[in-house]
Amino acid sequence: MPQVPETQQRVKFYQTGTFTVGNRLLDDTRRTVQASVERSNSLDSGHRACQGCGEALGARYAVDAALRAADGKLIAANATGCLEVFTTPYPQTAWGLPWIHSVFGNAAAVGAGIAAALKAKGREDIRVIAQGGDGGTTDIGMGCLSGMFDRNDDVLYICYNNQAYMNTGVQRSSQTPPAARTATTMPVDPEPGNAFNSGKSVPLIAMAHGIPYVATASVHDLHDLEYKVEKAMGFRGARYIEIFVPCPLGWGSKPGDTIKVARLAAQCGMFPLIEAEYGELTSVTKIYQRQPLEEYLKLQRRFAHVLKPQNAHQLEALRDIANRNIRKFDLLAAPEDVS
């Protein structure tokens, strides 16, 4: 009789591919951090995030993976935003690691300061992350972030991108996609929702700084996310990861659909998953099963007006964005790559 592990090595098929969190047919060492009963749960139960919060999920995924990579020696600086508010209503905390909050826009600077202090004390074994939402990172914190990249401070900055200021009541940020409804970009004529040709790509800005590592990840693909965090922790210097985290409240999606929405965003081309080292694009995660843009949009009330006949031009303009992403990052797998 063949032994079980030997059999598994020979037959390269594990019932659920590489998308489920765990897989009883895989060796423990090849499963995700989240599959382990020993995971840190760095962001623990009892936090006050909404039902189905993508950011709470993304933060636990990322920080647990970073903690494992840093052997448990990790300090976090946090920007103002949902993540800060729902985890630390005084005097409680949901965090299982040393964690500091200062003001809205300076998490990158606080992280850089901690890293400098640790260096001065000769404790470079202790690693530093800074984190925040898209508002605190890409709008208000942009100057501090660029400075951190410029000085190549030894900090991994993680941006949880939910595409608006959710904590204060869903106002537009530089990450809000065109046509999306927010409290400040209402769906009113003649051009309902957020304006086209606005916003910015911070991963590309980070790449322009030539920092050691830049990546985008999403809560729907845990294996990819953990791989990127672990890889980022393997570098010294400034690193940037942007994680796509759907917000049921701000996007008008069902709490149960958070992962589904994230998956569709990647599969329709609206959120490309990429990696870059020292300013050079090194890999893209190919679209596995291409999905129509409408499948992504129809789960979210912020895009409800886009699917009405009179706004067909908005739908087509969004489709252009998705198609441009697919071309620009070469997101479609060649037929022979699909297995």
Binding site for other proteins (CB under 8 A): 1-4, 7-8, 10-11, 13-25, 31-32, 34-35, 37, 41, 43-49, 51-54, 56-57, 60, 87, 90-94, 219, 222, 248, 254-260, 263, 289
- The minimum distance between CB 139 and other proteins, in angstroms, equals 25
Instruction: Considering the complex, state which of residue 31 and residue 209 has its C-beta at the smaller distance from other proteins.
Output: 31
Instruction: Considering the complex, state which of residue 31 and residue 151 has its C-beta at the smaller distance from other proteins.
Output: 31
- The minimum distance between CB 279 and other proteins, in angstroms, equals 33
The alpha carbon of 92 is separated from its chain's Cα centroid by a whole number of angstroms, namely: 25
Amino acid at 188: V
CB 225 within 8 A of CB 140: no
Q: Please, which residues have CB within 8 angstroms of residue 281's CB and are 6 or more apart in sequence?
A: 207, 274, 275, 329
Residue 194 CA to residue 238 CA, distance in Å, equals 32
- The minimum distance between CB 47 and other proteins, in angstroms, equals 5
CB 262 within 8 A of CB 218: yes
- The minimum distance between CB 82 and other proteins, in angstroms, equals 12
Q: How many CB atoms lie within 10 A of CB 174?
A: 17
Instruction: Considering the complex, state which of residue 3 and residue 29 has its C-beta at the smaller distance from other proteins.
Output: 3
Instruction: Considering the complex, state which of residue 8 and residue 102 has its C-beta at the smaller distance from other proteins.
Output: 8
Instruction: Considering the complex, state which of residue 91 and residue 309 has its C-beta at the smaller distance from other proteins.
Output: 91
User: Strand 239-244 vs strand 213-218: parallel, antiparallel, or unpaired?
Assistant: parallel
- The minimum distance between CB 285 and other proteins, in angstroms, equals 15
Instruction: Considering the complex, state which of residue 19 and residue 320 has its C-beta at the smaller distance from other proteins.
Output: 19
Tokens of 75: 């300090």
- The minimum distance between CB 138 and other proteins, in angstroms, equals 23
CA of 86: how far to CAs of 106, 123, 289, in Å? 19, 31, 35
